[in-house]
């Protein structure tokens, strides 16, 4: 379970970001800047990150604050699940990443799978829409994130590495290597294999 200070810091940051977007009064702007500073200090002290880095991270966020979207491609072949090795930590994850503005969720997943694995895929079913904060990911992230898992079928391409990932490989349920817990958890992998075995299951959410 995530620490309560992290939830507070995220909520204060979101409040400050939205307030700075719409406020016209210089007095209100000053107050929201103070709220953002409190959120930055909470995040820095709680996480161990440098305060200047956190300030810069929060200052880059503009507009009304909403959750970010992380799309993951769920690709099976002969009962085995496609994973890629993250170069940052040497552990494994489902291919995917943040959606770009202009992407539909499916388009984002198709693009990420191609970039990270070399496989061209066709999206066929939404399997899960999960709140990252409730999924046991480590370490916690400073922003609120929704994770979208879409089942895909391979329609072309061939395996290749990218500048972020390597060794696209299919694994059976009892062969799953150490996972990059910031991106994918064992519970998620287990549930996705359940969806594979029972295609009629409805999409999971929250």
Q: What is the pLDDT of residues 167-200, one digit of tens each?
A: 999 999 999 999 999 999 999 999 999 999 999 9
pLDDT per position as a tens digit, 106-165:
999 999 999 999 999 999 999 999 999 999 888 888 889 999 999 999 999 999 999 999
Query: Domain total for the chain?
Result: 2
Round to whole Å and give the CA distance between 139 and 9. 15
Tell me, yes or no, whether 107 and 193 share the same domain. yes
User: Cα-atom radius of gyration of the chain, to the nearest Å?
Assistant: 19
Query: Of the candidates 145, 106, 110, 141, which has an alpha carbon nearest to the alpha carbon of residue 126?
Result: 106
Query: DSSP states of 86-131 as a string?
Result: ETTTS-EE-SEEEPPTT--HHHHHHHHHHHHH-EEEEEEEEEEEEE
Q: Are residues 118 and 31 in the same domain?
A: no
Cross-strand pairs, 168: none
Backbone angles phi, psi at 146, to 5 degrees: -100, 140
> pLDDT band at residue 2, thresholds of 50, 70 and 90?
confident
The reported pTM is 0.81
Q: Which of 27, 59, 91 is the last residue of a domain?
A: 59
Give me the pLDDT at residue 142, please: 86
Tokens of 95: 């291919």
Structural domain span for residue 47: 4-59
31-52 pLDDT tens trace: 999 999 999 999 999 888 899 9
Residue 101 has pLDDT above 90, yes or no: no
Is the domain of 29 the same as that of 130? no
Predicted confidence at residue 49, as pLDDT, reads 86
β-strand partners of 81: 76, 171
In a shared domain, residues 140 and 51: no
For 30, the 3-state DSSP assignment is: helix
Task: For residue 64, name the pLDDT band (cuts at 50, 70, 90).
Answer: confident
Domain boundary among 59, 82, 99: 59
């Amino acid at each position: 379970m995530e620490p309560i200070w992290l939830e507070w810091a995220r909520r204060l940051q979101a409040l400050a970001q939205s307030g700075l977007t719409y406020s016209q009064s210089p007095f209100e702007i000053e107050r929201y800047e103070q709220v953002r500073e409190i959120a930055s200090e909470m995040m820095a002290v709680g996480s161990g990150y440098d305060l200047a880095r956190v300030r810069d991270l929060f200052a880059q966020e503009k507009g009304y604050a909403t959750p970010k979207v992380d799309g993951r491609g769920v690709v099976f072949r002969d009962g085995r699940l496609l994973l890629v090795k993250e170069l940052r930590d040497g552990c494994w994850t489902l291919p995917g990443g943040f959606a770009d503005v202009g992407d539909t969720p499916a388009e984002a997943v198709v693009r990420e799978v191609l970039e990270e694995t070399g496989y061209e895929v066709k999206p066929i079913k939404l399997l899960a829409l999960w709140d990252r904060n409730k999924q046991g990911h480590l370490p916690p992230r400073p922003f609120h994130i929704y994770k979208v898992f879409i089942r895909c079928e391979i329609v072309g391409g061939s395996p290749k590495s990218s500048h972020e990932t390597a060794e696209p490989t299919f694994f059976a349920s009892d062969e799953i290597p150490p996972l990059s817990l910031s991106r994918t958890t064992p519970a998620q992998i287990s549930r996705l294999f359940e969806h594979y075995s029972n295609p009629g299951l409805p999409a999971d959410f929250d």
